[in-house]
Amino acid sequence: MRYLSAVIACAALAGLPGIPPALAQAESGGWSMEVISDELSYPWDINRIGDMIVLTEAVGAIVTIENGRLKRYPVETSDPVVHDGGSGLLGMAIPDDFPTGGVAYLYHSYRTGSGLANKVIQVRFDGQSWRETAVLVEGIPGHRLYNGGRIAIGPDGHLYVTTGWTENGALPQDTGSLAGKILRMTLGGRVPQDNPFPGSYVYSYGHRNPQGLAWSETGELYVAEHGQSGRDEINLVRAGGNYGWPLVSGGETRPGMQPPLIHSGNETWAPSGAAFHGSDLLVTALRGNGLYALDRVAGALKPIFASQDRFRDVLPVGDDLYVITTNRSPRAQGPSKGDRLMRLSRRGA
């Protein structure tokens, strides 16, 4: 993207309020921000259907915004959505044929006899309501804080799903478990024949709490991942790769385990959504309070726009960038106040 490259190139070393030192390169300015809506409640995923923006809210609602009009729809599911801390209605994937079929895919938390779990479902929108039509995968281990939750349709037409480690150190390294993984499945919920582990949804393993999925123009998969006590990571994910958690993280290495492209050291980014805009990988940061771009040469995230908000996800549309914020930490109680949909535009564009 012609604008972001210039932003990264001219960033100077300076402190930004509310941004950890590992991210405090500078805000180079030049962006205007417009609040599209401040009526959101813990929004988690942002998509677009034509001129309509589509958001998930963790409590179990889908919000559409078109021509300045906001509509909120409950999602009818076979198991009630459970929003507790960081669990709830999280990721959403919308295929290109949605305008004709009305079918989309969701990731949500629900309660079982043994505790929280997550599932991937197919839903249909009839213009009046969103209703579950099929369960693709259920029984994904869940947790109040660590659920992964991002889903996206890859360039190969398959559905990719991130899952959390649930504070069970054995599960991310166990390819027989769906926890702490990137999963890959067909849109019908089947295991693709070319998955790296025969008969398994597991595409990669050894993840802690991945929440961002994005593919480059050449088809490479990048994943943004929460670390523990810092050590947040941006990973380039390969089929069958072991990304180390909980045996290694950050700059630690071990034979047979893949190191991250970059990590945050002892600071915390809390990266969430990720998207490519041209050749630029954009990453939203909850603790970093802003939108960043990966600078592979410098081995760092460089700031694009910062505020006091917790940035959850990003959607590029033309030269504009739409971002959503969730301003309550999943560790806190009560409502998430002041959550917004904002449009960032390059001044003078």
From CA 46, how far away is CA 169, in angstroms rounded?
31
Helical (H) or strand (E) element with 98: helix 98-101
Q: What is the CATH number of the domain that holds 334?
A: 2.120.10.30
CB 166 within 8 A of CB 130: no
From CA 186, how far away is CA 190, in angstroms rounded?
5
Torsion of CA 80, 313, 32, 336, to 10 degrees: 40
Chain centroid, CA 38 distance in Å: 21
pTM score, whole prediction: 0.92
Tokens of 227: 């670390």
What pLDDT score does 30 carry?
76
Closest CA to 322 of 42, 31, 127: 31
| Residue 7 three-state SS | helix
Number of independent structural domains in the chain? 1
Helical (H) or strand (E) element with 55: strand 52-57
CB 139 within 8 A of CB 208: no
CB 163 within 8 A of CB 141: yes
CB 66 within 8 A of CB 49: no
What averages of pLDDT result for each successive group of 10 residues across the chain (349 residues)? 40 32 41 93 97 97 95 97 97 96 98 97 96 98 98 98 97 98 98 98 98 97 96 98 97 97 96 97 97 94 93 96 95 87 85
What is the domain extent for residue 208? Answer: 2-346
Output the CA torsion sign for 292, 293, 294, 295.
negative
246-254 contact pairs (CB < 8 A, 24+): 246/165, 246/169, 246/172, 246/173, 246/208, 247/173, 247/206, 249/208
What pLDDT score does 4 carry?
46
